Amino acid sequence: MNATRVRLLAWKEVRQLRRDPLLLRILVLMPVLQLVLLGYVVAADVTRMPTAVVDLDRTPLSRQLGDAFEASDYFDVRRHPGGESELRGLMDSGEIRVAVVVPVGTQARLDRGETAPLGIVVDGSDSQSASLGAGYASRIVARFEARRVAAPAGAGHPGRPPAGEGMPHTPGVPGLDASVRVLYDPTLSSVNTMIPGLVAFILMLSLMVVMSQAVVKERESGTLEQMFVTPIRPGEYLVGKVAPYAVIASVQASLVLAVGILWFRVPFRGEALVVVAGLALFMLTSIGMGLIVSLLSRTRQQAQQSVMFLALPMMLLSGFIFPIDSMPAPIVPLTRLIPLRYALEVLRGAMVKGAGFEALATPLAALTVFGVLLFGTAVLVTRRRLTE
């Protein structure tokens, strides 16, 4: 690979960008404008969450309480940790969002007519899920307690409480007293959930829009054919074409992150290296998707429509707006094919939770696979088109 040719080709791309100052301003200002607007208006809702039940009491009553959560449509009990110390790791990795902790001696306290504390731990990195999860859990506990008092011997296993049924236990009155503890974001601010998602979404959309025009624009203007008669190799053409936009995307991501942290006061509890690694892998994936669209499109309008066609399902199925656990069961497997899903898990996990590489190994590995496949496919298609 000739470094001089790559440098000259990259300089050509920079010169083309400078000839269109409006496009350059849009590339810089559009993500900030989108962040400010969407950061205030976007909201989410949820009806089901992955849950863990920590049964430290191990009595018939504690097992019935665990069954009440398993029978509820609001919760999906996936884990039964042996101790409360395991909850932090499970929440860091995103395996659970809600945990119910039944302390030792719960049934003994109730048998003596005393108040028995019950712990409900929620993942505050998703404010909507945390608020609803805490409310639903309190209602299930209240309904369980009402049935226990009314018919302790023949009480069923409470499931999903009907609307308006069940009130939280009154402190000081003997019975189960559910106390909620919010991890990561005690204030339950929705901004702390949405801003990391917007960083990934804006980066993906900007890169796909720009890269989708990269090759098809030259094909329409006739400059692509001129490239064929030069000694530039396919690899040099690809690197020179991608390099300027990768730099612009890096600036965009840094700018959006800075605005989110400084303007919206989103906490940054994790390691910067984790965020950089996640964004770099996701950037590679987005560039690959944009290049594939550009190589397969015949006109710029076709490329634009293709990007919008791809962006909509990615936005809806990634968990950016609608939580994945609230989607119908047949759709959930499709979300595993959405790269944006894993970018959101990395950014929210690193920024809000402070999770490291170990806890985020799964989404980082998924982004690596997507980056290699999509960018590799773009390289192969580019080589084939340039050598035809």
The one-letter code for the residue type at 19 is R
Q: State residue 372's pLDDT score.
A: 93
Q: State residue 34's pLDDT score.
A: 62
Q: Find the range with the poorest average confidence among 34-38, 109-113, 349-353, 354-358.
A: 34-38
pLDDT of 20 > 70? The answer is no
Average pLDDT for the chain: 81
Give percent of the chain with pLDDT exceeding 70: 83
pLDDT of 4 > 90? The answer is no
Q: Which two tokens stand for residue 25?
A: 């301003």
Residue range 155-160: mean pLDDT, rounded: 43
pLDDT of 238 > 70? The answer is yes
Query: Strand 115-123 to strand 175-183: parallel, antiparallel, or no bridges (unpaired)?
Result: parallel
Residue range 51-80: mean pLDDT, rounded: 90
- Residue 102 contacts by C-beta under 8 Å, 6 or more apart in sequence? 53, 54, 55, 56, 57, 62, 65, 66, 118, 119
Q: State residue 55's pLDDT score.
A: 93
The CATH architecture assigned to 49-183 reads: 3-Layer(aba) Sandwich (3.40)
- How is the chain split into domains, by residue range? 3-41+189-387, 49-183
Residue 218 three-state SS = helix
The one-letter code for the residue type at 26 is I
pLDDT band at 72 (very low <50, low <70, confident <90, very high): confident
Residue-wise pLDDT for 260-310, tens only, equals 888 888 889 889 999 999 999 999 999 999 988 888 777 786 788 788 778
Q: State residue 364's pLDDT score.
A: 96
Residue 97 and residue 129 in contact, taking contact as beta carbons nearer than 8 Å: yes
Q: Is 315 left (phi over 0), alpha (psi -120 to 50) or beta?
A: alpha
pLDDT band at 168 (very low <50, low <70, confident <90, very high): very low
Residue-wise pLDDT for 121-154, tens only, equals 998 887 777 887 888 898 899 888 888 888 645 4
pLDDT of 240 > 60? The answer is yes
Residue 113 three-state SS = coil
Residue 200 three-state SS = helix
pLDDT band at 155 (very low <50, low <70, confident <90, very high): very low
pLDDT of 384 > 80? The answer is no
User: Across 3-7, 203-207, 379-383, which has the greatest mean pLDDT?
Assistant: 203-207
Greater confidence (171 vs 331) lies with: 331
pLDDT of 165 > 60? The answer is no
pLDDT of 323 > 70? The answer is yes
Q: State residue 103's pLDDT score.
A: 93
User: Across 230-234, 252-256, 348-352, which has the greatest mean pLDDT?
Assistant: 348-352
Q: State residue 43's pLDDT score.
A: 45
Q: State residue 33's pLDDT score.
A: 63
Residue range 99-125: mean pLDDT, rounded: 90
pLDDT band at 24 (very low <50, low <70, confident <90, very high): low
- The half-sphere exposure of 377 on its side-chain side, counting CA atoms within 13 A, is 17
Residue 76 and residue 48 in contact, taking contact as beta carbons nearer than 8 Å: yes
What is each CA distance from 210 to 95, 205, 279, 301, 313, in whole angstroms? 35, 9, 17, 13, 19
